[in-house]
């Protein structure tokens, strides 16, 4: 398994160690999990569970059926 060296300030290290200890896992596993979570390219289950939570929210067809004109956009420069 590859190894990585990271440099943390004392306060960040303290927080990381406390978080890992709270989960009863080694610091290296906690860091690996944090990296995996921050680089995941899927929605968390809690977010997916919200699908359909607003029964009165218009569906895609209803949103696209609108003839309303777009508002003028601000220039990017």
| Under 8 Å between Cβ of 30 and 19 | yes
At residue 64 the predicted structure's pLDDT band, cuts being 50, 70 and 90, is confident
| Pairwise CA distance, residues 7 & 41, whole Å | 26
- 7-56 confidence digits (pLDDT tens): 999 999 999 999 999 999 999 999 999 999 999 888 889 998 998 888 88
pTM over 0.75, yes/no: no
At residue 6 the predicted structure's pLDDT band, cuts being 50, 70 and 90, is very high
């Amino acid at each position: 398994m590859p190894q990585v060296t990271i440099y943390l300030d004392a306060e960040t290290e303290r927080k990381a160690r406390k978080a890992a200890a709270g989960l009863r896992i080694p610091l290296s596993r906690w860091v690996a999990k944090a990296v995996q979570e921050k680089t995941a390219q899927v929605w968390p289950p809690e977010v997916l569970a919200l699908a359909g939570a607003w029964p009165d929210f218009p569906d895609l067809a209803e949103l696209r059926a609108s003839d309303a004109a777009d508002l003028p956009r601000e220039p990017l420069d």
